[in-house]
Amino acid sequence: MPPHAPTALVTGATAGIGLEFARQLAERGSNVVLVARDRARLEGVAEDLARRFGVTCEVLVADLGDRAQVQMVADRLADAARPVDLLVNNAGYGLKKGFLQNEVEVEELAFDVLCRAVLVLSHAAARAMKARGSGAIVNVSSVASFVAMGSYSAAKAWVTVFSEGLANELAGSGVKVMALCPGFTRTEFHQRAEMNMSKLPDALWLDAGELVRDALADLDRGRVVSVPGAAYKTLVAALSVLPRGLARRASGGVASRRRPPTT
């Protein structure tokens, strides 16, 4: 690739939405820095993207629940000699049980991956991008950020509001920030988290490829919050005008009816 080709760094890049971001960005001609825990899967994705699209693929093996490894990724984002033009904070963490059923250590690890890593990596990327006067950050949140369904919902609410605040702080700097808030998406996320999703209507499932295409289009338009899918756009619009107490009670009712995950 020519030296001026843009570079994107994607966390959680070996599966689901993260993998789809890596594929579509590589197809657009971006070099990619792939971040995940599994070296073998990372190297497989890197080889595939390099072969198919002729881009440079860099592998960073990192567990974003580990502070030292998060800092390693932050240092890569801050490296002025190898600028990153787009950061996609996508790494996820599935919680199989309710807050009180989980051990607190599980909740802390989820918080570190879903919130702390987003904060640290966004800080490193935003500083470097602001200094250059260009760049973009996509923080993958969730439609769950608009409801009240446990600590996962709370973590994603933090991601959404954090992204909005950072977008305000960077206004006029040439750096874009967007919170991507998808609903249920056909990936291996729920299977790996051992969640039983068999009762969910087909109409509520999103396609990962279409989701990422729409997200990148929204980023190009300068949107700060992107909600993919007509059904979820309608839901979020309704929640925005619904009294908070009613929305909270409805969220609690949905949560109480969820079937326990299969193991």
Is residue 1 assigned to a domain? Answer: no
**Domain range spanning residue 83?**
7-257
CB atoms within 10 A of CB 31: 23
Quote the number of domains for the chain: 1
Is residue 106 assigned to a domain? Answer: yes
Strand boundaries in the chain, DSSP class E: 7-11, 31-36, 57-61, 86-89, 135-140, 175-180, 225-226
Lowest mean pLDDT segment, chosen from 7-11, 119-123, 249-253: 249-253
Lowest mean pLDDT segment, chosen from 23-37, 94-108, 234-248: 234-248
Is residue 107 assigned to a domain? Answer: yes
The stretch 230-247 carries a mean pLDDT of 79
Tokens of residue 206, six digits: 């999103």
pTM of the model: 0.88
- At 261, the pLDDT band (50, 70, 90 cuts) reads very low
Q: Is 96 exposed, middle or buried (0-12, 13-18, 19+ CB in 10 A)?
A: middle
- At 194, the pLDDT band (50, 70, 90 cuts) reads very low
Nearest to 33 by CA among 94, 93, 78, 92: 78
Strand partners, 88: 10, 138
Enumerate the active-site residues: 152
Is residue 263 assigned to a domain? Answer: no
Is residue 52 assigned to a domain? Answer: yes
Is residue 262 assigned to a domain? Answer: no
% of the chain exceeding 90 in pLDDT: 70
The stretch 178-191 carries a mean pLDDT of 75
For the stretch 15-65, pLDDT in tens is 999 999 999 999 999 999 999 999 999 999 999 999 999 999 999 999 999
**Confidence at residue 214, expressed as pLDDT on a 0 to 100 scale:** 95
Is residue 2 assigned to a domain? Answer: no
For the stretch 147-172, pLDDT in tens is 888 899 999 999 999 999 999 999 99
For the stretch 72-100, pLDDT in tens is 999 999 999 999 999 999 999 888 889 99
CATH number at residue 95: 3.40.50.720
Is residue 73 assigned to a domain? Answer: yes
